[in-house]
Structure 1
Amino acid sequence: GNSGGALLNLNGELIGINTAILAPGGGSVGIGFAIPSNMARTLAQQLIDFGEIKRGLLGIKGTEMSADIAKAFNLDVQRGAFVSEVLPGSGSAKAGVKAGDIITSLNGKPLNSFAELRSRIATTEPGTKVKLGLLRNGKPLEVEVTLDTSTSSSASAEMITPALEGATLSDGQLKDGGKGIKIDEVVKGSPAAQAGLQKDDVIIGVNRDRVNSIAEMRKVLAAKPAIIALQIVRGNESIYLLMR
């Protein structure tokens, strides 16, 4: 295929690196996904400088702003990132970010969505101080957050495979005590959502390999299989989701 190949515009300029395709009918007809060229360049430079990718962690869980959230909080805003939870001890918690806040800007630049916030934070190194514009109880304020270091027990799924962009993962447990990868959040309309992943799903297998942790899932997907079959526990059922 063309994974890893250049995505060009009509002027012959590099705008992205092709990574995956969502093809429900099989073959190469479907929706293509690419890593933006500016993100690829930033990550490539980190590999040159450090030999690894260092990603900042904001320390929050959230979702896209919506008309329903705006109505519930009596707000006249439908853009930005809604904070549903602040992780204890994180940089955001220390800076005073609270659940229910709406992040409207990052370093002075407006935010349109939670997905945009995730993308911009993911290309920022740990230890960097970022300024968040917040809306709390209808009043604007600004806080400065020092980004934490992302750990192997919690990760954005696109760091593992672009086909799952929009999902937040963590090492979790099943009701019977077995281990797996828990889906903490799924951004509405993202590739992960379109593939059928739902919040609180637990991934226990990838292409017939049993996986107990994010680290094990990384190893299985390092081979970049053309088709990914995820075995998932959803409630009391075990199902499979296929993606490319």
Structure 2
Amino acid sequence: VVTNNHVVDKAKTVQVTLDDNRTLDAKVIGKDAKTDIALLKISESGSYPYVQFGKGAPRVGDWVVAIGNPFGLGGTVTAGIVSARGRDIGAGPYDDFLQIDAPINKGNSGGPTFNVSGEVVGVNTAIASPSGGSVGLAFAIPAETVQTVVEQLRTDGKVVRGYLGVQVQPVTKDIADGLGLDKAKGALVDHAESGTPAAKAGLKSGDVIESVNGAPVNDARELSRRIAGLKPGTEVKLAYLRGGKSDVATVELGTLPGDGKVASRGESSSSGQARLGLNLAPASEIGLGDEGVAVMDVDPTGPAASKGISQGDVILDVGGTSVSKPSEVQAQIRAAESNGRKAVLMRVKSAKGQTRFVAVSLSNKEG
């Protein structure tokens, strides 16, 4: 029996009530919090009707029927259409939901979403609502994802995912401008963890991963889903851009692991304040590490502040070049301008030690 992880999570005992009102004990065979899927087993012998998963993904606009037990009323059927596909609602790292407008409410979780042929195309999972009731925004886990997870839970009792070992972020329009890309597509590598498959294959910070085994990667989340859908030990070919040049890395995937106060200004940069809205100093001179340029002050109306750069952050590189002095930051900004870039790409380390790429506009106003 397939249901949602959040339906049975932390339960000491589980029972399944059938359509003929029989109640049977069930055992949790396995569950996966990352996709919110759980698999149960009924031990009592008997003949149990079941439904088939659909063989293809539904199209936006296709009619669907949702079945569940809203508010404990009992078996309830509602109808609607597929409103969208590939929705990310922040529920987990591999969100890829079908959005449907068939009314579902609390108690529908774990129920099937059928197409008009009676095939299961999704598992009802979540709603978006200010009141807790249906407002026409419901989400179902696609059948393709459910089948993959269920098969692993059935055979192994757990889900084992491929592991690349990179921190990635989406390529926004500003970042694409900073990198000189024509389109805002792909997954930008923030950092390749030392000793991971990605690092061993030569991937570096600033690389833009464009495809996995020839299949295009539109954004960072899609890369995560693609890699997680492969088994550890799988060899994949990653096409990526580095410095405007294309290359391919062959990577053998690993196993996904289980799941300061500024005292002095040092060398400052008034020109940096004027251009980016920043006052900078060498990080080594103020105790913020051995590399990079520290952000001493931020103009709240400047372009850097609009991108989330704050006091205490450390700029590690600009335009793909490591920096250690404010003058080096300015040199890279001038270089970006001379190359006709609309934005300059910076790798920034936060006070908590997390790194990210930020594209700061070089124009006088935001587009």
What range describes the TM-score normalised by the shorter chain of this pair? 0.5 to 0.7
Give 1:83's aligned residue.
189
CA deviation profile, 1:222-241 (whole Å, cap 9, x unmatched): xxxxxxxxxxxxx9xxxxxx
SS across alignment from 1:119: helix
CA deviation profile, 1:200-226 (whole Å, cap 9, x unmatched): xxxxxxxxxxxxxxxxxxxxxxxxxxx
Q: Are the aligned partners of 1:96 and 1:143 in contact in 2 as well (CA < 8 Å)?
A: yes
Q: Of 103, 106, 118, which aligns to 2:209?
A: 103
CA deviation profile, 1:54-108 (whole Å, cap 9, x unmatched): 1111111111111110111122121111111111111101011111111111111
In 2, Cα distance between the equivalents of 1:133 and 1:114?
Answer: 14
Q: Which runs of 5+ in 1 are unaligned?
A: 156-197, 199-234, 236-244
**What does 1:22-41 align with in structure 2 at a 5 Å threshold?**
22-29=128-135, 31-41=137-147
In 2, Cα distance between the equivalents of 1:100 and 1:56?
Answer: 22
Figure out how many residues of one structure are paired with residues of the other and give that number. Answer: 155
In 2, Cα distance between the equivalents of 1:29 and 1:111?
Answer: 32
What value does the CA root-mean-square deviation take over the aligned residues?
Answer: 2.0
In 1, Cα distance between the equivalents of 2:129 and 2:136?
Answer: 4
**What does 1:1-244 align with in structure 2 at a 5 Å threshold?**
1-29=107-135, 31-152=137-258, 155=259
In 1, Cα distance between the equivalents of 2:115 and 2:185?
Answer: 28
Structure with the greater alpha carbon radius of gyration: 2
Residue 41 of structure 1, CA deviation = 0.7
Residue 32 of structure 1, CA deviation = 2.3
> Measured at CA, do residues 9 and 139 of structure 1 come closer, stay the same or move farther in structure 2, by a change above 3 Å?
farther
Structure 1: which amino acid aligns with 2:230?
A: T
Structure 2: which amino acid aligns with 1:28?
A: S
- TM-score, normalisation: structure 2: 0.40
- TM-score, normalisation: structure 1: 0.59
Structure 2: which amino acid aligns with 1:131?
A: K
CA deviation profile, 1:26-67 (whole Å, cap 9, x unmatched): 223353222221111111111122221111111111111111
| Aligned structure 1 segments of 4 or more residues deviating by more than 3 angstroms | 9-13
